[in-house]
Structure 1
């Protein structure tokens, strides 16, 4: 029986502490180690309780471990195999308050255990009931989280959790029956010695998960530990052999020369210790990590894992885990553009995605690199060092420690990423099954990157749309004028522009239309808004034509940096007094509905006929402006061409809304308040176009008071 207990305790401690000592030192590995220590303490104390006459002390020791089991299991399951919820440090501290209180009160007081006068007769204190409630409820929470994870997780995470669930569940349930519920409810303590034996369930299921499903990467960690032990044994054995030979053939006494010689030998062997350990581990990898996998199962797992990737870092982690844990390949380097959107514009380089701190600089490939040129010229789906007879390319692949180059193409056969795949751990050559798997993987990655690109585009458009909405001006109170405005982008982000700026007791109205629509036009609109605001801030008394001249100069300089020109029409209207306006505009039309005469006056604005942003060679002397006035109750309408060019039902083969229909609509509703008139126009346009717009629509309606 002693051997069984020693085996159980040793195995549990190894399973618990190896990931913490040699793997990733994260919170879940720390909690796993503490939980293993608690298990070991419980099992060890139960055995000693049967052998020692000090029943009270070892009964309390047997309870100390289970006090910390539930909380450490809870934190572990919240973060492994995938994070359900990450507790903050204060939340963790709160979670440990009750266990620490129970542990502190356990030994110096009879709060939990009053006395154990004879073997199997335990007198419980009131704290034992508190401990039982805490233990039961927390473990129920742990089990419910595991069950939730079994329904939520997919692929390897689900399989790992399944083995953890069954191993812990069977161990904890049967152990709690023997060591908690039977003593609590029926005062039966005869089964104390049997409860720890149920830890074999945890050991068994954990062993299967380690060997078959890479639980906590323990198989690799154990492999590394064995390599370290073999290296140590090898060096100690060599030194022992040298000592035996020295004492047998030179001198049986330990002399100063011997001590100096052994010190030098230790120094030399210590220098080669790491190299020797790596050699042992590499040999073990070749023997035990055969690199076999179920093709169909792995394809399904790849599809499930890739479908859950929502960003480049997650995708990189999934790929590295796949190649390391399932296909068992030595190294994988994932090279992707810094921004997928930038790559669509043809910009390099492709940069290695590093998932953790690394002292080596990331690999960078440009379109001038030999690997890229070879892939682009030959349009290969995969590039192998074995089948390549081009010495410079072979040398380049060796420099990159690469056996296979797997390009990722778009539907137009443009390279958007590369996987540099190293050797198999068993050093076998890649088979046709491997090549088929990699080719299928490249196809799936193309779809994943396309999905990520669309998500990134949608996110950026959402941000731009929010900004565009937020920078639209609130309609201010303007002396002598009632004003309302409306903008309807044809796409998520529009290229129309309007602004209302009150500056030095003057009111400026601006309306413009950037060529095209969408994100590009929206960015130019932002640019123009900033340019005009800056000019007015520096020159509050500026005239409309001078402002237009300066705005054109600055915009032309900015647009030179873009790949395409996006000029725009712009109307700058300065309200000199409540009735007098100065205006400078290009290709815009102002309609004035005179209240007294019931006539419509139309001003064609061609003061700057080419629009701004097209050329900066136009002199200020060639720019004009004009003046007009508004009488009380006169109505002013200014709008972009998207209104009159809107198509019936959104069909470009049908009639446009046209200017006559617009003027007739306004005239028929001229007596409405301007907000109602705006709604009437918006509803009419929506009904006419069936909500389908091919151009942005923006207008201003003003009525003189």
Structure 2
């Protein structure tokens, strides 16, 4: 019998040793007290928490070893979690503990054990949540900053949206009106511009001074307010030079470029634009400036593609472009005409990423050349939109059709 009892005691001690080892390895501090809050057992993590030797902890009052504050106020003996646990009136709560220079935030939960003898014991599980709380506070501050930034961005977006809306309206206001185009008796003219969602920098104009008709078409790099403003500057410069009866293509573009270049420098901008200027008088057409290909359409629908790469230089990149400017002369007979466009047409993409392209543009123009300029314009734009389908329009779409009467 004594031998059996010794075996049981040995096995019990082994089991208790394993439990001690297991409880000592967990991250939470665990402490067991009697009814008077005297510590009867604790794990290694609790030793570390109060920074005392294990032997110096056992038998001492938890109330003295674990003084707490709650929201900055000292926790009284009556309100200490161990007392509340023993009274079965406790729920998990967070407290501050100040064992070192750096205060800790502790999440304390507990349970009351009642024995057949009528005695009670309190078991407290203490978790250090300091870093978690600091991270939560950091996240709260970050969210507050993000919210403030979002409000600022919303206000800025509203302001920018208003500015862009004004610029967009200004762009539309300075386009040639239909009655102006109808007043040019020698040509049948139709123009179209559809801005993308964001303000772009497409430009076209048709101006008549005496017997000379000046036609301009251009495309400013980028989008947004700067591009829109640069487009308005270009229109003003072209009209001014046209009103001054400047007929020399080199002087015209070189003077315009200097004005635009100096404004771009003043704006500290990196914008530039392609720009073609066409002068028409008495069946003779002069083309100068670098832009997209100019389409010369003969009365029978045959199209000649004029490459403008060697006729000029991008406006606003350099202050002196006169050496790069040249011109091409074309004679238009009755039924002949010109089609001008920006890359918003040829580079318009469908959902598959396929571009509309110059070949399709030429095909659509040729098939419909016997119609009026207005009808040709409408059919080209309809075909472009059919190609785009449900895809978003990423760039301004601009088209100008002119036919010799």
Partner of 1:89: none
Partner of 1:565: 270
Whether 1:496 and 2:195 are equivalent positions in the alignment is no
- Do 2:339 and 2:399's aligned partners in 1 also have CA atoms closer than 8 Å? yes
- Do 1:493 and 1:522's aligned partners in 2 also have CA atoms closer than 8 Å? yes
Deviations 1:259-284 (A, max 9, x none): xxxxxxxxxxxxxxxxxxxxxxxxxx
Whether 1:540 and 2:251 are equivalent positions in the alignment is no
- Do 2:164 and 2:225's aligned partners in 1 also have CA atoms closer than 8 Å? yes
Partner of 2:369: 670
Q: Hey, what's the Cα distance between the residues in 1 that align with 2:383 and 2:374?
A: 14
Whether 1:485 and 2:191 are equivalent positions in the alignment is yes
Q: Hey, what's the Cα distance between the residues in 2 that align with 1:520 and 1:487?
A: 19
Question: How many aligned positions are there?
Answer: 266
CA-atom RMSD, angstroms? Answer: 2.5
Structure 1: gaps of 5 or more residues: 1-431
| Pick aligned residue for 1:695 from 384, 387, 395 | 395
Specify whether residues 642 and 501 from structure 1 end up closer, same or farther in structure 2 by C-alpha distance, changes over 3 A only: same
Q: Hey, what's the Cα distance between the residues in 2 that align with 1:669 and 1:452?
A: 48
Answer 1 or 2: which has greater helix percent.
Answer: 1
| Pick aligned residue for 2:338 from 629, 636, 647 | 636
Matches of residues 650-665 of structure 1 in structure 2 within 5 Å?
651=352, 654-665=353-364
Q: Hey, what's the Cα distance between the residues in 1 that align with 2:200 and 2:309?
A: 24
Partner of 1:457: 160
- Do 1:491 and 1:517's aligned partners in 2 also have CA atoms closer than 8 Å? no
Deviations 1:164-212 (A, max 9, x none): xxxxxxxxxxxxxxxxxxxxxxxxxxxxxxxxxxxxxxxxxxxxxxxxx
Task: State the Cα distance separating 1:444 from its structure 2 match.
Answer: 3.7
- Do 2:249 and 2:325's aligned partners in 1 also have CA atoms closer than 8 Å? no
Relative CO higher for 1 or 2, CA cutoff 8 Å, sep ≥ 6?
2
Deviations 1:588-619 (A, max 9, x none): 211122115x422121113444311111233x
Partner of 1:166: none
Whether 1:683 and 2:387 are equivalent positions in the alignment is no
Q: Hey, what's the Cα distance between the residues in 2 that align with 1:473 and 1:446?
A: 42
Specify whether residues 557 and 677 from structure 1 end up closer, same or farther in structure 2 by C-alpha distance, changes over 3 A only: same
Deviations 1:353-408 (A, max 9, x none): xxxxxxxxxxxxxxxxxxxxxxxxxxxxxxxxxxxxxxxxxxxxxxxxxxxxxxxx
Partner of 1:588: 292
- Do 2:246 and 2:252's aligned partners in 1 also have CA atoms closer than 8 Å? no
Task: State the Cα distance separating 1:443 from its structure 2 match.
Answer: 4.8
| Pick aligned residue for 2:214 from 474, 485, 508 | 508
Whether 1:623 and 2:325 are equivalent positions in the alignment is yes
Q: Could you state the TM-score of these two structures normalised by the residue count of structure 1? A: 0.36
Secondary structure at the counterpart of residue 558 of structure 1: helix
Task: State the Cα distance separating 1:547 from its structure 2 match.
Answer: 0.7
- Do 1:592 and 1:600's aligned partners in 2 also have CA atoms closer than 8 Å? yes
Partner of 1:176: none
Matches of residues 192-207 of structure 1 in structure 2 within 5 Å?
none
- Do 1:517 and 1:696's aligned partners in 2 also have CA atoms closer than 8 Å? no
Deviations 1:243-263 (A, max 9, x none): xxxxxxxxxxxxxxxxxxxxx
Secondary structure at the counterpart of residue 293 of structure 2: strand
Task: State the Cα distance separating 1:489 from its structure 2 match.
Answer: 2.1
- Do 2:188 and 2:372's aligned partners in 1 also have CA atoms closer than 8 Å? no
Answer 1 or 2: which has greater strand percent.
Answer: 2
Q: Hey, what's the Cα distance between the residues in 2 that align with 1:674 and 1:617?
A: 37
Q: Which has the larger radius of gyration?
A: 2
Q: Could you state the TM-score of these two structures normalised by the residue count of structure 2? A: 0.61
- Do 1:495 and 1:525's aligned partners in 2 also have CA atoms closer than 8 Å? yes
Secondary structure at the counterpart of residue 566 of structure 1: coil
Q: Hey, what's the Cα distance between the residues in 2 that align with 1:595 and 1:683?
A: 23
Poorly superposed stretches of 4+, deviation over 4 Å: 435-443
Matches of residues 241-390 of structure 1 in structure 2 within 5 Å?
none
Q: Hey, what's the Cα distance between the residues in 2 that align with 1:479 and 1:581?
A: 16
Secondary structure at the counterpart of residue 199 of structure 2: coil
Q: Hey, what's the Cα distance between the residues in 2 that align with 1:547 and 1:541?
A: 6
Whether 1:529 and 2:235 are equivalent positions in the alignment is yes
Specify whether residues 445 and 594 from structure 1 end up closer, same or farther in structure 2 by C-alpha distance, changes over 3 A only: same
Task: State the Cα distance separating 1:583 from its structure 2 match.
Answer: 1.7
Q: Relative to structure 2, which stretch is displaced further, 511-520 or 440-449?
A: 440-449
Q: Hey, what's the Cα distance between the residues in 2 that align with 1:694 and 1:452?
A: 25
